Amino acid sequence: MKTISKDSLDKIIGYLKYKGYKVIGPSVRDGAIIYDEISCIEDLPAGWGDEQEAGHYRLRKRNDGALFGYAAGPQSWKKFLFPGKLKLWEAEKNSKGFEITPANGQFPKYAFIGVRSCELHAVFIQDKVFNNGMFSDTYYNKIRKNIFIAAVNCAEAGKTCFCVSMKTGPKAEEGYDIALTEIINQDEHYFVVDEGTPKGSELMEQIESLTSTEEQLAAADDALKNAESNMGRTLETDGIKSLLYKNHANTVWDQIAKRCLSCANCTMVCPTCFCSNVEDVTDLSGDHTERWRTWDSCFNLDYSKVAGGNFRTSIKARYRQWMTHKLASWIDQFGISGCVGCGRCITWCPVGIDITKEVSNIRKSLKN
């Protein structure tokens, strides 16, 4: 392990830009911490944290200068690997019909700074969706193979986090080029760095660093233990697939449906949801058309509309489909749960529906 100063993180960002990466990291904008292009550590949310609960999100000032002292915000790294709107091709009318031109492939070379362990696991899950042997998404995979990932281990947990329950955090174990643990005490502000790949080692050779002392390693370990022991939520996962499959008609679904707005917020902020729609757009002349892929949601009424009608007309059916897919049938599809415990669906639900509580409610209903 190596230790670097806070200022050295600025040099890491500069080196990645020099190597041709478009550096993406957390920034404060519109009252939230979002992911956007950054050029230096001044762009990071120094001294900002957040307050999160079911249906509640607020930024708060911290009493230190932590650069990564916040929990998961409204955006995930999905927006860069699987964009919300992507042009697939365009066609122009000619004397013989139409000439189709694939979208000019712009594949940015991204460096992600500040990827949490739960978010890394979300990327692993989407890898199974977009490159699973039967189907390979060209855009996703061209971006995915060129990214540089600087993970950040969580030193504290948010009120809606439950990554420990899903075995996805708070420590990044794999899939990163470097992993940072931020340590702040009265006299020091530094990062303990773990090199995960040759790319990460090559970068660290360019950055001034010291071999981590036992005290620094212990401080990093204590920070992780603090996050692990202070999870805001827990989710009992034992037998969860069978639980949801066998409770299709449970009255808990009716109780949820009375509150759910079917607004799709949970699917938009979820780092693993992958529903999409394909739309053709034609100009008024009829000579030019474009095909776009856009994010969609199983909460949208039209998503389940087929030639024979709509097979999920009720909010109850749509919420049940989402949660059962996320926690149960996803396992049958991809061999892994579709939930990483980031808590975004809880925080950003306008009426505060809590997936961890609803699973617990189903379990409790069986005992009554």
One domain, residues 25 and 68: yes
| pTM flag (> 0.75) | yes
CA angle 124, 22, 149 (to 5 degrees): 30
Among 36, 30, 40, 196, residue whose Cα is nearest residue 120 = 196
In whole angstroms, what is the distance from residue 243 CA to residue 169 CA? Answer: 24
**Amino acid in the structure at residue 99:** E
Kindly state the DSSP code that residue 212 receives in the 8-state scheme: P
**Looking at the predicted structure, is the pLDDT value of residue 223 above 80?**
yes
One domain, residues 144 and 196: yes
Please tell me the predicted confidence (pLDDT) of residue 17.
97
Give 93's contacts (C-beta < 8 A, 6+ positions apart): 286, 287, 288
Q: Please write the tens of the pLDDT for every residue from 161-181.
A: 999 999 999 999 999 999 999
Please tell me the predicted confidence (pLDDT) of residue 261.
97
Domain boundary among 201, 229, 257: 229
Give 164's contacts (C-beta < 8 A, 6+ positions apart): 170, 228, 231, 234, 341
Cα Rg for the chain, rounded, in angstroms? 22
Please tell me the predicted confidence (pLDDT) of residue 95.
83
Q: Cα–Cα distances in Å, from 162 out to 19, 117, 204, 256, 294?
A: 36, 12, 32, 21, 29
Q: Please write the tens of the pLDDT for every residue from 140-151.
A: 999 999 999 999
Full strand arrangement of the beta sheet holding 276-282: 97-102, 85-94, 288-295, 276-282
One domain, residues 333 and 195: no
**Domain with 126 in it:** 2-85+107-229
Half-sphere exposure for 183 (CA within 13 Å, toward CB): 22
**Looking at the predicted structure, is the pLDDT value of residue 105 above 80?**
no
Q: Please write the tens of the pLDDT for every residue from 304-327.
A: 998 888 999 999 999 999 999 999
Residue that the structure tokens 């489909």 belong to: 321
Residue that the structure tokens 């980031």 belong to: 342
Please tell me the predicted confidence (pLDDT) of residue 168.
98
One domain, residues 58 and 179: yes
One domain, residues 254 and 316: yes
CA angle 149, 123, 263 (to 5 degrees): 125
In whole angstroms, what is the distance from residue 82 CA to residue 36 CA? Answer: 15
Residue 327 resides in a domain:
yes
Per the CB < 8 A criterion, the answer to whether 123 and 168 are in contact is: no
* Average confidence score pLDDT of the chain: 95
What total of structural domains would you count in the chain? 2
One domain, residues 49 and 188: yes
In sequence order, the β-bridge partners of residue 18 are: none
Residue 99 resides in a domain:
no
